[in-house]
Amino acid sequence: MRLVRCPICSLTVDFDAGGSRPFCSERCRQIDLGKWLGEEYRVPVGPDFGDPGEDEEV
C-alpha cells in the first residue's frame, strides 16, 4: 500500500486503491484539470507560434 498526498486538498490517500489517483477523489481530479485548462487559456500566443518548420533550411 502506497500513500500519496492529494495535490488539491492535501489529503493522504491510498495510491493503489482509488481510480482517481494521484487525487483523493474524482472531484479533486476535475479541479486540477480545470486549473490546468485555466492556466493554458491565460498563456498568450506568441508571434512565432505558427508555421512550425517553415523557415527550416533543408
Which of 5, 8, 20, 21 forms a contact with Zn ion (CB under 5 A)?
8
Check residue 29 for interaction with Zn ion (CB under 5 A).
Answer: no
- Can you read off the three cell numbers belonging to residue 52? 512550425
Which of 2, 3, 5, 6 forms a contact with Zn ion (CB under 5 A)?
6
**Is the previous residue joined to 7 through a cis bond, with omega within 30 degrees of 0?**
no
Give the angle 22-25-28 at the CA atoms, nearest 5°. 80
Nearer to Zn ion by Cβ, of 12 and 37: the residue is: 12
The span of 20-28, 33-41, 42-50 binding Zn ion (CB under 5 A) equals 20-28
